[in-house]
Amino acid sequence: MRRTRIMRAGLAVLLLLGVGATAGTVPATADEKQPASAGLLTAMQRDFHLTKAEAEARLAAERWATALESKLRRTAGTSYGGSWFDAAEGTLTVAVTPDTPATALREIRAAGATVRTVTHSARELAATQARIDKVPAPDAVSSWHVDPKASTVVVNVVSGRQGDNDVREFVARARKAGPVTVREVATAPTTFAAGTVGGDPYYTGNVRCSIGFSVYGGFVTAGHCDQHTGSVYGWDRSYVGNFQGSSFPDNDYAWVNVGSGWWTVPVVLGWGTVSDQLVRGSNVAPVGSSICRSGSTTHWHCGTVLAMNETVNYSQGAVHQMTKTSVCAEPGDSGGSFISGDQAQGVTSGGWGNCSSGGETWFQPVNEILNRYGLTLHTA
């Protein structure tokens, strides 16, 4: 059952999203056997067509892979080419270049990861992407990101638009920057802000967005939600606080201070679909992991992490270092939480599609927001 307005008044400010940790928080580790809530398992079964046992096994494997990935990245050093999680096999693959020392290969395999040899290092691919970021992109170029499996930078172009003169010029300049592959996508991304409508939102100007994660002193959310009117109001139109900082485009993050009777809690709202989720840290889930989103329009939905560090080309300008997911979203969900297990991942930015026919959604990673403004994630 949906919560009463009284119950939500306290939570709505900071629970609509799951986010990550920074100085002053202690992320949960894979060794901490935090049982998955019944609601989360139900959502996993619904969105991934799993049995309960399969959902539990997948979450356990993802906790292991998330904890292991950062360690093996250091082990591979400059030879590191990226990594990804295989949900079907429950395995973590670490890509490395041919010059990887034998001792590092042994250590990676001994840790339980699979090794894949690739042509380019993650550092080389990141440099290619950075060079492409400096090239003005036409609206038919949807986004670009590093694909560690293919060891290339993927440039996504809206279907039927590859022949446009400005697209051909962009692709030609991108190929000069380094290894590039062009792929077609269905449509261009848009942000998910919305006009004033009912629900459990926060309001600023004439825009409704969703709260992200609680931090000490306020909450984080999407930067494009800042209408530069200053004041932010809760679901009941009572004053919550003000935007203290925001960035969009280039980034898509912001934070709002909280006062006037509102308070912060380390919770992501489950909207009755799942139990409200406690936030225990912000370890980054690898590509291939399951991830769920909470927002004030479409509430709770789950999907998979598809790509990291993708540059998204909105009509307002490019936003860098985003994470792409298969989770759906709709206007008003902007700023809402992305969470993997009990680990905060980021705040909803934009995408394409809807929650009737499906789509893809990008989020701004939470750790970057925390580090940018010196904030501390409120954790359980």
Q: Could you tell me where the beta strands, DSSP code E, fall in 225-264?
A: 231-233, 239-247, 253-257
CA dihedral sign of residues 133, 135, 139, 145: negative
d(CA 28, CA 138): 42
Which of these is catalytic: 47, 147, 252, 342? Answer: 252
d(CA 295, CA 145): 25
Which of these is catalytic: 121, 296, 326, 334? Answer: 334
- Contact residues for 232 (Cβ-Cβ < 8 A; gap 6+): 202, 203, 204, 239, 240, 241, 242, 243, 256
Task: Count other C-beta atoms under 10 Å from residue 151's C-beta.
Answer: 22
- To the query of whether residue 299 is one of the catalytic residues in this protein, the response is no
Pairing of the two strands 343-354 and 277-278: unpaired
Q: What is the CA radius of gyration of the chain?
A: 20
d(CA 128, CA 328): 29
The DSSP-derived string for 102-114 is: HHHHHHHHHTTPE
> Which tokens sit at 330?
């709709």
Which of these is catalytic: 224, 299, 301, 378? Answer: 224
d(CA 177, CA 191): 28
Distance of CA 46 to the CA centre of its chain: 21
d(CA 41, CA 270): 12
- To the query of whether residue 334 is one of the catalytic residues in this protein, the response is yes
b/e per residue 26-48 (b: at least 16 CB within 10 A): ebbebeeeeebbebbbbbbeebe
Distance of CA 221 to the CA centre of its chain: 12
b/e per residue 163-184 (b: at least 16 CB within 10 A): ebeebeebbebbbebbbbebee
Active-site residue set: 224, 252, 334
